[in-house]
Amino acid sequence: MGQLVVNGLALGSIYALVALGLLLIFNTVQIVNFAQGQLLMLGAFIGISGAVTHELPMALAWASTMLAMALIGIVFMVLVYFPLRGRPPFLVILTTIAMGIVLENIALIIWGPLPVSLPSPVRGPPLRFAGVVISMHQLFIFCTLAVILLLQYLMLTKTRFGILMQATAQDLHTARLVGIPVNRTIAVAFAFGAILSGIAGLLVAPIFLAEPTMGGSLGLKGFVVSVIGGFGNLPGAVIGGLFLGLIETFGARYISSNFRDAYAFIVMIAVLVAWPRGLFGEKSSEKV
Amino acid sequence: MTVKHWFPLALGVVVALLIPAVTHDNYVIQLLNIAILNAIVVLGLNFATGWVGQINFGQAAFYGLGAYTTGIAAKAGLPWITTPFLSVVIVMAASLVLGLPTLRLRTYYLAMTTIGFGEIVRLIIVHWEPVTGGTSGLRAIPGIGVFGIGPQGQVQHYYLLIAVLAIAALVAARIRQSSLGRAMIATKDSEIAAEQSGVDTTRTKLIAFMIGAVYAGLAGCLYASSIRFISPDSFSGTQAILLMTMLIVGGMGSIPGCIIGAVGLTILPEALRFLGQWYLVLYGLGVIAVIVLAPGGLASLASRLPRWAGAR
Amino acid sequence: MTDQAIITARGVTRRFGGLVALDDVDLDVPKGIVQAIIGPNGSGKTTLLNALSGASHADAGSIRIDGKEIFRLRPNRIARLGLARTFQNIRVFSNLTVLENVKVAAACNTPMSMLNIMLSNGTQRQREAEIESTSREALEIVSLAARADDRPTQLPYAQQRLLEIARALASKPKVLLLDEPAAGMNMTESMTLLDTIAKLKGKGITILLVEHNVRLVMGISDRVAVLDFGKKIAEGAPSAVQQNPLVIEAYLGRRHRHA
């Protein structure tokens, strides 16, 4: 039981990270990136290329992955977001999905279809108490989530960038008029959004192995979390992520592991039927 | 109907009828049969997505529900004639259950619930192995036949499916010309103005969604009993995305666009097989290019063509 | 009075957060007149219109159209009970033709059957023919018949407003709400609009007009109600309202504050 909680929370932390990446982009440009899972997958593979193929030290592999992800995020923005600014969300969804297909198949061409493993950046014997085993990697995941949550909170509320981001989100046109470097702000949001999913990829690869098709389902879990937590809601994303991790772990253990991926959607549909704007509400509102 | 309207239509019908005379390759005909079935499904998707403007990634699941209902019923020994009705009843029930609580949701949420619905249906198909055959699917499904009379061979199936597609397109065109079709488009253009003009937008959304599901369910029924082999891969989330891109690339809201998009994007991967994995990379980029450069799809490009010609 | 009134609103109240946009508003509109609602910006005119038409429901109150309670009904039900409207920000159906725009509303009380549509049988053809003739008549009234097959976005701004009026007319309303119909119109266009409104009044349709431009409404209206800060501060014949010190204060006071 306690073990399931730990495993569920570790899984949920990864979902929360995907959701936090989505949130960063959503809060700035009000679009939902349906290729976030594929960005996660790229993060995992770039990490593997660094740490396994080129045998870089782990810290260096992580750092280079984050740098690469920032660049990918900006390229992504130029290819997907700029041409579609102001177009209906429907088309943005399809464009990001199409971009996901592109990224997934590029990864298949570069890295092949076989699953690959990435070692954890932390080593050491697992902690045990009261029959519950917490591996060092799980501990590392919890710490990473906590640090990122803190940093993101500080960034959004205390820094100049956070204020610029909010201004951009509220009214792009006015933001530009008052001299906010709108494009640079958006670029930073996309870069950080991609970095967060890259980190999620680096964290998930030591547990589940990495393969080019891994992104689809993980990306969708990120959305389910965003929906449960309310799009653009920081605590909502974290609580939603942990909640989903627990649901899946317990569902797989006590109901059926075959339907592991279905629980997320069942919970999401139930939440939306009861609260059409997500459990924690949505930050943005529309005019009637 | 002017010459501008009926000439391309007549040309399309003649080409469609002549194809089996040109090629005797069973593989080509079977591919075309699948393309025609996809065209029916995309015509169905057009009601909710093209006209009402509601995103829907559940269409592949309705396709699959129709196919599996027919496959399971026919293998259990029920006469073929019952299977279209069973498939329609099942997809109508499913679309009602999914549509009623979710169609009021906003775009992102609706996209997610329909994706989720598709995943749940797929997981049920994959894991309910004794009935559905799991990942290996159902084989040797009994063919189409009423009192022992039914199409034999790929070519006869081809003509049958062309006839069904023609009816499906005709019904879609009639709906478009009726108050229902206008209500659908009005709902997309301005929900509040449609409501204040007396359109029950909630009901219109649900009807469009359900008609689309019925199209998919019937296409699924015909898929199972003409291809005679079904597996979960044919109705997965990837398939839902492919159906959506067929609609977008062909031209949302345009009946010929739906058919062109579905047939084109069903045949294209086979024609470009030599590209291997690169095909899907180009596919994704191609979809982005169409969305960015020609939001009305290929149908809108075709309608622009005469104007260019006239300008010269 | 009440038995002749086509609109009877009692205690209509609407809050947005802490702001009271409509404060206990009563309104009686007699059948067949042109009633104007005026007031400074943000006085609650459009909010009242939205409450009447169901676009954005009031929080409390009672609204009767021709004796039927419509409070909190969905807008499509209210439309079918005989209340049609136009919008301050033009909302035409851009993917339909001008004629089809009007047909949407013309079909509002026509029964619809899937089977008839699929068979395209006699019943269906006759229904569509009726819808078409109603729609063409409505376009005729606003002099847009010649543009029937164009897209509404090809029309100039003022004609798009007239198209909205035609669309509203096609539902054969008892009451027609016009939300700032003259906004963005030049002098000639406004004159055409006033002629059209007079024509509609002649047909026995009750017209409720929300206007910012006070001078425009005074000539055409039989009665004027004045809103300020969500409260009805005056009501009566145009000449009487113009003399009302409360009204002058509301308008002038506001103007001074702006200056």
- Summarised one tens digit per residue, pLDDT across range B233-242 is 999 988 999 9
**Interchain proximity C84–B200, CB inside 8 Å:** no
Residue A49 predicted with pLDDT over 50:
yes
Quick check: B241 and A97 CB within 8 A?
yes
Query: Does residue A223 carry a pLDDT above 70?
Result: yes
Do B195 and C109 lie within an 8 Å CB cutoff? Answer: no
Full DSSP string of B203-254: HHHHHHHHHHHHHHHHHHHHHHHHH--B-GGGGSHHHHHHHHHHHHHH-TT-
Residues from chain A that touch B295, judged by Cβ atoms under 8 A, are 87, 91
Best interface-test mutation with B: which of C52, C94, C95, C167 has the largest number of B CBs within 10 A?
C95
User: How close A275 gets to chain C, by Cα (Å)?
Assistant: 20
Is residue A219 within 8 angstroms of chain B, CB to CB?
Answer: no
CA distance B172 to C118: 9
String of DSSP letters for A28-42:
HH----TTHHHHHHH
Compute the residue count for chain B.
312
- Quote the CA–CA distance of B225 and B218 in Å, as a whole number: 11
The amino acid occupying position A198 is G
Q: What is the pLDDT of residues A199-212, one digit of tens each?
A: 999 999 998 899 99
Q: Tell me the pLDDT tens digit for each residue of A97-129.
A: 999 999 999 999 999 999 999 988 888 888 888
Beta-sheet pairing, C206-210 with C68-69:
unpaired
Cβ neighbours of B201 in C, within 8 Å: 76
Write out the two tokens for A252: 């797989």
For B178-232, the pLDDT digits (tens) are: 999 999 999 999 999 999 999 999 999 999 999 999 999 999 999 999 999 999 9
CB contact under 8 A, A105 and B285: no
| Residues with Cβ within 8 Å of residue B229, at least 6 apart in sequence | B137, B138, B139, B140, B141
The pLDDT of residue B306 is 55
**Percent of chain C predicted with pLDDT > 70:** 96
Distances, alpha carbon A279 to alpha carbons A8, A17, A86, A230, A270, in Å: 20, 18, 27, 6, 10
Residue B61 pLDDT > 90:
yes
Please give, rounded to a whole number of angstroms, the shortest distance from the CA of C232 to a CA of chain B: 25
Nearest CA in chain B to C173: B197
Cα separation, C162 vs C101, whole angstroms: 12
Q: What does the pLDDT profile of chain C (259 residues) look like in tens digits?
A: 445 789 999 999 999 888 889 999 999 999 999 999 998 888 889 999 999 999 999 999 999 999 999 998 999 999 999 999 999 999 999 999 999 999 999 999 999 899 999 998 999 999 999 999 999 999 999 999 999 999 999 999 999 999 999 999 999 999 999 999 998 888 899 999 999 999 999 999 999 999 887 888 888 999 999 999 899 998 999 888 888 888 888 876 655 544 3
Q: What is the pLDDT of residues C79-94, one digit of tens each?
A: 999 999 999 999 999 9
Measured between its terminal Cα atoms, the distance across chain A in Å is: 48
> What residues of B are in contact with residue C54 (Cβ under 8 Å)?
195-196
Interchain CB distance below 8 Å, A272 and B104? no
Please check the confidence at residue B258 and state whether its pLDDT lies above 90: yes
Nearest-CB residue to B119 (from A79, A106, A265): A265
Q: CB neighbours (10 Å) of residue B185?
A: 23
**Averaged pLDDT for residues B280-294:** 90
CA separation for the pair A243, A245 (Å, rounded): 5
What is the residue whose two structure tokens read 């119109």?
Answer: C185
List chain C residues with CB under 8 Å of A288. 50, 55-56
How many CB atoms within 10 Å of residue A28?
26
Q: Is C115 on the interface with B (CB under 8 A)?
A: no
Cα A281 from chain centre: 20
Contact A90 B53 (CB under 8 A): yes
Chain A residues whose CB is inside 8 A of the C55 CB are 288
- The encoded tokens of residue A240 equal 């939603």
- Tell me the residues of chain B between 252 and 311 that have a Cβ less than 8 Å away from chain C: 253
E runs forming strands in A27-144: 127-129, 132-134
Query: Does C108 contact B at CB distance below 8 Å?
Result: yes
Q: What is the pLDDT of residue C258?
A: 45
Residues C165-203: b if buried by 16+ CB within 10 A, e if exposed: bbbbbbbebbbbbbbbbbbebeeebbeebbebbeebbee
A 10 A CB-CB count for C220 gives: 18
Identify from A94, A108, A220, A266 which residue to disrupt to test chain B contact, counting B C-beta atoms within 10 A and taking the largest count: A94
By the CB < 8 Å criterion, does A136 face chain B? no
Angle, alpha carbons C116-C120-C124 (nearest 5°): 60
CA B144/CA B223 separation, integer angstroms: 10
Calpha distance B165→A208 (Å, rounded): 45
The C-alpha angle with vertex C161 and arms to C157 and C163, in degrees rounded to 5, equals 110
Q: What is the mean pLDDT of residues A208-234?
A: 88
Count of beta carbons in the 10 Å neighbourhood of residue A109 = 13
The per-residue pLDDT for B119 is 92
Search chain C and give the residue with CA nearest B253. C95
The 3-state secondary structure of C126-154 reads HHHHHHHHHHHHHHHHCCCHHHCCCCHHH
Choose among B123, B248, B277: nearest Cβ to A105.
B277
Length of chain C (residues): 259
Best of A90, A110, A217 to disrupt the B interface by mutation (most B CBs within 10 Å)? A90
CA angle A150, A224, B247 (to 5 degrees): 130
pLDDT, one tens digit per residue, over A262-286 is 999 999 988 888 887 766 665 444 3
Contact B198 C118 (CB under 8 A): no
Q: Nearest CA of chain B to the CA of A98: how many Å?
A: 5
Calculate what percentage of chain B has a pLDDT beyond 90.
Answer: 71
Place B309 in a pLDDT band, splitting at 50, 70 and 90: very low
Whole-number pLDDT of residue B68 = 97
Q: How high is the ipTM of this complex?
A: 0.92
Count Cβ atoms within 10 A of the Cβ of residue A71 and give its class: 0-12 exposed, 13-18 middle, 19 or more buried.
exposed
Give the pairing of strands A132-134 and C231-236. Answer: unpaired
- Give chain A's domains with CATH numbers: 2-274 (1.10.3470)
Q: Which of these, A41, A52, A93, lies nearest to A217 by C-alpha position? A: A41
Domains by residue range for chain C, with CATH: 1-63+73-82+173-259 (3.40.50.300), 93-171 (no CATH)
- Chain B nearest-CA distance from C125, in A, is 9
Q: Which residues of C touch B197 (CB under 8 A)?
A: 76, 79, 84, 104-105, 108, 167-168, 171
Query: Residue B76 has what DSSP assignment?
Result: T
Identify the pLDDT of residue C75: 95
- What's the first-to-final CA gap in chain B, in angstroms? 26
A-chain CB neighbours of C50 within 8 Å are: 288
H/E stretch holding C24 reads strand C19-30
Show which subunits contact B, needing at least 3 CB pairs below 8 angstroms: A, C
> 3-class DSSP state for residue B145?
coil
A266 to B116: CB separation less than 8 angstroms, yes or no: yes
| Cα A38 to Cα A12: distance, rounded to the nearest angstrom | 18
Q: C-alpha distances in angstroms, B38 versus A66, B114, B217, B226, B240?
A: 42, 19, 11, 13, 11
Residue with tokens 């359109």: B199
Q: Average pLDDT in the B87-106 region?
A: 92
SS3 B147: coil
